[in-house]
Amino acid sequence: MALDLSIDDEWNAVYVDGEWTSAASDGEIPVEDPSTREEIARVPASNEDDVDAAYEAAATAQTEWEQRPPVERERIAQRFAQLLHEYEEAIVDLLAHEAGGARIMGETSVQIASDHAGEAATIPRRMKGEHVDSNVPGKENVVRREPQGVISVISPWNFPLNLSGRAVAPALAAGNAVVLKPASNTPITGGLLMAKLYEEAGLPDGLLNVVPGHGSEIGDAVVGHPRSDLIAFTGSTPVGRGVAATAGENLSELALELGGNNAHIVTADADLEAAIDSAVFGSFVHQGQVCISINRHLVHEAVSDEYVEKLTARAESLPTGSAHDEDTIVGPIIDEGQRDEMLEYVEKTVDQGATLETGGGTIPMEGVEDSLLVAPTVLSGATNDMAAACNEHFGPIAPVIPFSDIDEAIELHNATEYGLSGSVHAGDVGQGMRIAERMDTGNVHVNDQPINDEAHVTFSGTNASGVGAYNSTDVMDEVTEKKWISLQHDEREYPF
């Protein structure tokens, strides 16, 4: 029987030990559609009793799961990926309703989540140990790779499906169990949806447990739970510091993707049209609500005026509106708190001396009293210390900062505590590569923009942008641990 994944389906349950049950408390989380500002669902607000039950179920189920044949874990990951494509239209619609994601965001989310699941399906066959010669006569050394145990996943609201999936899929494939706490803005697409899909894929009970809830109420209970072996968290750097401190009390391992202040460097020799194409996508897709979107445009002063003119024209031409409109590119911001913060950054940046070329406010939406639609915004004459440049604005905002030479561009780029992603257009790939090597960031994309994620290629940040890594062999290293077993075949001689 086909799954019902519509927004009108029943989402008012937590998922623990393979059962859809009521939360231990009677609290609820209202889910709002950012396009209409209407309440579209209510999900339970879990409490610490729900969290404890989830970890108990996970720990119990995991001991058997890691003993199952690799091919079984592989098939679950493959089936999950298949289901994502089978239900793509329903998932895209859910993301529009809950996350304000325009169609391009929804389709991209499904594609990336499927890519991560496909890569995860290779993990069971790659969990190989090694045989190491010993310095001791008659001894054999064996190193085994084993699952961590129980993985805690705390996912964000901006790309809830794939940013949950990139941790959940490899964790399960490696033989772990998972407790997933999705963001309170997106508890369905960040968690409950995943539970339904894995249930349909045949995942045994107890291996994926989903506890929606407010971070202020259950965040510490999840992060600090004694049964949690690894915390996989995506979110802001200030919250990430708190996560790390709490997890440290249990010596839990960490995989944290945190904030970014990503720059798009454009040199005087760059193909300006290609640089603008990249800039428009990298700044405005999903309203700029992407950890790896362009936060600053660093443009050589010789081409800065032309760049601003072309970028402004393109920004003004972008289709804006409801996420439910098939033509929309720039949809609504997730909530009024995020909207107000980014508009305050713009206002302060103008007060600090930048020029507002376009945007800078909200666009009215029919039937909506308090629109969350922020106009694509371009600011010229900005500097690194202006509000929209030194802060992660997380919106459809493009501050353009001129530079005089490559050394200054690198200095401007690196003058931030973050190091998540970045991009450079420099006329030829060789020059771009030389610039990329000097950029202090975890990911750099030459003749492109910063928003890239390929499950078979490592993804990590430097400095305040996080610790640990996702994708490829790196995420397998995160969700597994190594055990050294030595075998003394011949009687050993000791010095006393």
Q: How far apart are CA 441 and CA 299, in angstroms?
A: 18
Q: How far apart are CA 143 and CA 81, in angstroms?
A: 31
Q: What is the pTM of this model?
A: 0.96
Q: How far apart are CA 5 and CA 172, in angstroms?
A: 22
Cα dihedral sign, 432-437-440-445 = positive
Q: How far apart are CA 452 and CA 320, in angstroms?
A: 23
For the beta sheet containing 177-181, the strands, ordered from the edge strand earlier in sequence to the opposite edge, are 19-21, 14-16, 208-210, 177-181, 150-154, 230-234, 253-257, 466-467
What element of type H or E holds 244?
helix 237-248
Three-state SS at 61: helix
Closest CA to 481 of 304, 227, 252: 252
382: which DSSP letter?
-
The position carrying tokens 């090694």 is: 130
Annotated catalytic residue within 119, 253, 257, 478: 257
Annotated catalytic residue within 253, 291, 357, 390: 291
Best CATH choice for the domain 14-259+473-483 from the list 3.20.20.70, 3.90.1150.10, 3.40.50.300, 3.40.605.10? 3.40.605.10
Domains 14-259+473-483 and 263-446 share a fold: no
Q: Where are the domains of the chain?
A: 14-259+473-483, 263-446
The verdict on whether 273 is a catalytic residue reads no
> What are the pLDDT tens digits along the chain (496 aa)?
689 999 999 899 999 999 999 999 989 999 999 999 999 999 999 999 999 999 999 999 999 999 999 999 999 999 999 999 999 999 999 999 999 999 999 999 999 999 999 999 999 999 999 999 999 999 999 999 999 999 999 999 999 999 999 999 999 999 999 999 999 999 999 999 999 999 999 999 999 999 999 999 999 999 999 999 999 999 999 999 999 999 999 999 999 999 999 999 999 999 999 999 999 999 999 999 999 999 999 999 999 999 999 999 999 999 999 999 999 999 999 999 999 999 999 999 999 999 999 999 999 999 999 999 999 999 999 999 999 999 999 999 999 999 999 999 999 999 999 999 999 999 899 999 999 999 999 999 999 999 999 999 999 999 999 999 999 999 999 999 999 999 999 999 999 9
For the beta sheet containing 130-133, the strands, ordered from the edge strand earlier in sequence to the opposite edge, are 130-133, 139-147, 480-488
Q: How far apart are CA 176 and CA 168, in angstroms?
A: 9
The verdict on whether 257 is a catalytic residue reads yes
Q: How far apart are CA 129 and CA 124, in angstroms?
A: 12
Query: In the structure encoding, which two tokens stand for residue 28, read together?
Result: 């609820």
Our CA angle for 302, 358, 384, nearest 5°, is 55
pLDDT tens profile 387-426: 999 999 999 999 999 999 999 999 999 999 999 999 999 9
Q: Which CATH superfamily is domain 263-446 in?
A: Aldehyde Dehydrogenase; Chain A, domain 2 (3.40.309.10)
